[in-house]
Amino acid sequence: MRQDSKSRLEKRVLALLLVIAMCCGLMSYRVQASDLQPVLTVGNAAGAPGETVSIAVYADPGDHPFYKFAVKLSYDENVLEPIADGLTLEPGLVKFKSSATGGQVSLNAEVDVVNLLFVESYMKLFTVSFKIKQGAAGGDSPITVLSATTTEEIDPVPVEQANITSGKVSVYSLSVGAADKSGSPGDTVVVPVSIGTTSADVAAYGIKIGFDAAALEVSSIQGKTGNWFDSSFDNGSGTMTAGWADELGGDNAVSAGTELFEISFKIKSGASAGDKLLTASTSDALNMTFVNVDGLEMGKSWSGGKVTVVPGPTPTPTPTPSPTPSSTPTQSPTPSATAKPSATPTIAGGAEVLVNGKPEQAGTATKGERNGQSVMTVAIDAAKLEKKLSEEGKGAVVTIPVRTDSQVVIGELNGQMVRNMENKEAVVEFKTDKATYTLPAKQINIAAISEQLGSVVALEDIVIQIEIAEPPAERVKDVELAAVEGGFELLLPPLEFTITAKSGDRSIDVSTFNAYVERTIVLPDDVDPSRITTAVVVDKDGTARHVPTRVERTADGRYVAIVNSLTNSTYSVVWHPLTFADAEGHWAQDIVNDMGSRMVVNGIDETRFAPDQAVTRAEFASILVRGLGLRLEREAASFSDVGAAAWYADAVRTAYAHRLVGGFGDGSFRPNDEVTREQAMTMIAGAMVLTGLKDRLASADPDARLHPFADAGQLAAWARQGAADTVAVGIITGRADGELAPQASVTKAEAAAMLQRLLRQSGLI
């Protein structure tokens, strides 16, 4: 672009004269397509699955500068996922409409006439960012120009196809795995490790493999890819590593089907029969890295091999000679004076498991004791459960019902069972007399657990315990103290919901989830369901917070409190009625009192709410976090103007961590600014993703959803999709005059109404 002031002034004068001439009917000028031959070029990018790449679009206007343009690109949804706010314009350009969804990127923009007036030389127009999807196949994924127009002085002109250069995203990925071998105790088996498929030749790699040290030991590792190979192994921990680099910098790179190395395993005497898996972690470059000839890291997938231990031939027993008669009497063995009674728990018998309501004797129940509390544990039979799941197909509900008076009730599965249920999209329902814990198997996240425990641990050796328990006495005191400090009444004793993963002497708490997990608490007959205000969760630090709760009556006439939360901890249902005097007669009276009683919104004192007072951005973020029942984050990224000691700091960090709020281009959050309605709509739309409401929303053109509002054109481009989503589900209905009023401030009453509608439409209250 020419930047000298004289050139800009001349072009402004020329443009002004053109407008005057047209208005006066003195001239008619039309740019023909044949007169304008700009060049549009889409750049290229490369990366591995999970990485973010950016594609730039360039233009050369030739001899005809333009001041507006519209470009539509296509991309493969199976490979690429647009990044939110990933469309960025170069300085001096103004975006007035854009979208990136459904396999297409559309952008209409114009030059900032105050500074530039025209695009008049070769320049970058904009950049669009994508995330390469996990599991994306390797190779080139095209970014194709579907249409492009530019506007010179008057009319839009199609860009000729001959002047378009499309781009691509090159996905670098490969699969690598070990073969399956079998042998008997004492045998040596050789297991090759090879590249399966790859999108580019490999110039270097490093890999760490775990094996069952109780059954196998490595005797040697032999490289198969030439020079610069190195390896090591530790039979004590059950790990081995191997690495190779092409000393010629890629001239001798290896391709698909290449055997990288082979491992010689000796099967230990006494090894138990069965499959001994070889495992590897692909998510950490310290455990597995593959680099192509350009020095770029590649996405990896591991197809683990196994060594199957089969029993050896049974030795023929040697005949035992008959004892020679003797006059010495045979002595009976004397019991050891140091023998101790067995600590084995009392066996309670078989346990029934329901798969889609169909009973199966697939569990074993045992009784025991832990820290002075009675414990009932139901362990599920893996083979029987897998058979039932295979018969039922995807989406099965696995119910583990336990009727007992034990204080602690545990349902026990192994990691492989959880993985199988995850693959079949099954739901686990752990049911006791006091509560039911319902969660999709994928929320246990067995892959993350396996990563933490180490790749050497086989999934079937990981024990997953789902627990519903009466808290110990000291924990009950913490909950009672929280009730006193919070000013609410506990209506029944608290219950603890926990998930623990164990392997050997290691233990991991599964305390957070990616989606809301449901807990159903049975209300005793002496508890009035109309007095249930909400449920609270009391975290380990003693702080209590509201969690979305609704009360329902079951088919058998009993009442239950259905609690949804993203975390595990200690829960109870409470009575916390609030009535704000200054909300009486207000259109939001019932809403404000309901949200206040649920501890979602606060008054300015004990009796006043100030429903028409404007809400700041910090206050709205806090209301959103409280309404969703989110545990406060204290280490998430924050903003330059959010001090660590500010009352809203943790809430803003939490909202940011859950992608509910964003900041401004200068890195600030502006916590004390009044939140506008379009900002609030965008935040609520982010919450719709978290609650799952967005997934239930049918796709539609945002403009169509916003059409009923006369002032929809005042919405900023970045706010249109969020506004359309909130309108579609009835969270935003417009003000009394039928307008969205996107630039107006949100009142406290409106904020309470938005949160109540969000939670109701999401089925959480």
Give per-residue pLDDT as tens, 666-681.
Answer: 889 999 999 999 999 9
Summary mean pLDDT of the chain:
84
**What global pTM score does this model have?**
0.57
What percentage of residues in the chain have a pLDDT greater than 70?
87
* H or E segment and range at residue 450: helix 446-453
The CA distance from 292 to 138, in Å, is 12
Within 8 A by CB and 6+ apart from 358, the residues are: 388, 392
Quote the distance between the C-alpha of residue 739 and its chain's center: 36
> Residue 155 — pLDDT band, cuts 50, 70, 90?
low
User: What is the chain's alpha carbon radius of gyration, rounded to the nearest angstrom?
Assistant: 33
In the DSSP assignment, the letter for residue 426 is -
Residue 645 has pLDDT above 90, yes or no: no
Within 8 A by CB and 6+ apart from 398, the residues are: 353, 354, 355, 385, 389, 421, 426, 427, 428, 429
Residue 559 has pLDDT above 60, yes or no: yes
In the DSSP assignment, the letter for residue 762 is T
Q: Which residue intervals of 195-320 are DSSP H helices?
A: none
The CA distance from 2 to 5, in Å, is 9
The CA distance from 463 to 220, in Å, is 32
What percentage of residues in the chain have a pLDDT greater than 90?
48
> What does the pLDDT average to over 547-553?
94
> Residue 22 — pLDDT band, cuts 50, 70, 90?
very low
> What does the pLDDT average to over 10-32?
39
CA angle 548, 425, 450 (to 5 degrees): 90
What is the predicted pLDDT for the residue at 122?
A: 82
Give per-residue pLDDT as tens, 365-420: 999 999 889 999 999 999 899 888 888 888 999 999 998 889 999 999 999 999 99
More confident position, 199 or 500: 500
> What does the pLDDT average to over 733-753?
90
What is the predicted pLDDT for the residue at 15?
A: 45
> Residue 248 — pLDDT band, cuts 50, 70, 90?
low
The CA distance from 289 to 208, in Å, is 9
* H or E segment and range at residue 51: none
Give the dihedral of Cα atoms 382, 384, 389, 392; nearest 10 deg: -170
Residue 116 has pLDDT above 80, yes or no: no
Which residue's entry shows tokens 């683990």? 304
As a 3-state breakdown, the chain gives helix, strand, coil percent values, each rounded to 5, of 20, 40, 40
What is the predicted pLDDT for the residue at 9?
A: 44
Within 8 A by CB and 6+ apart from 85, the residues are: 662, 718
Of the candidate ranges 6-10, 446-450, 599-603, the one whose mean pLDDT is the lowest? 6-10
> Residue 319 — pLDDT band, cuts 50, 70, 90?
very low
Token pair of 184, please? 């008997």
Contact 298, 173 (CB under 8 A): yes
Residue 572 has pLDDT above 80, yes or no: yes
Residue 740 has pLDDT above 70, yes or no: yes
Contact 687, 758 (CB under 8 A): yes
Of the candidate ranges 25-34, 651-660, 700-709, the one whose mean pLDDT is the lowest? 25-34
What is the predicted pLDDT for the residue at 276?
A: 92
E strands within 24-138? 39-42, 44-47, 52-60, 68-74, 80-89, 93-101, 104-111, 123-132
What is the predicted pLDDT for the residue at 336?
A: 34
More confident position, 349 or 564: 564
> Residue 704 — pLDDT band, cuts 50, 70, 90?
confident
Token pair of 451, please? 């990563």
**Order of strands, edge to edge, in the sheet holding 299-303?**
216-223, 259-267, 188-198, 173-178, 299-303
More confident position, 85 or 132: 132
Q: Which residues pair with 150 in a beta bridge?
A: 69, 157
The CA distance from 532 to 160, in Å, is 67
Name the residue type at position 635.
E
Range among 264-273, 406-415, 449-458 with highest mean pLDDT value: 406-415
Contact 677, 743 (CB under 8 A): yes
Token pair of 440, please? 């999709």
> Residue 37 — pLDDT band, cuts 50, 70, 90?
low
**Burial of residue 417 (number of CB atoms within 10 Å: 0-12, 13-18, 19+):** buried
What's the number of CA atoms in the CB half-sphere (13 Å) around residue 391?
A: 12
E strands within 133-187? 139-151, 156-158, 164-165, 167-171, 173-178, 180-183
> Residue 117 — pLDDT band, cuts 50, 70, 90?
confident
> What does the pLDDT average to over 433-443?
94
Comparing CA positions, the residue from 139, 83, 90 lying closest to residue 119 is 90
Angle between helical axes of 617-628 and 649-657 (0-180°, round to 10): 60
Residue 647 has pLDDT above 50, yes or no: yes
Token pair of 75, please? 């991309």
The CA distance from 220 to 241, in Å, is 12
In the DSSP assignment, the letter for residue 279 is B
Q: Are strands 44-47 and 167-171 parallel, antiparallel or unpaired?
A: parallel
* Residues making up the chain, counted from first to last: 765
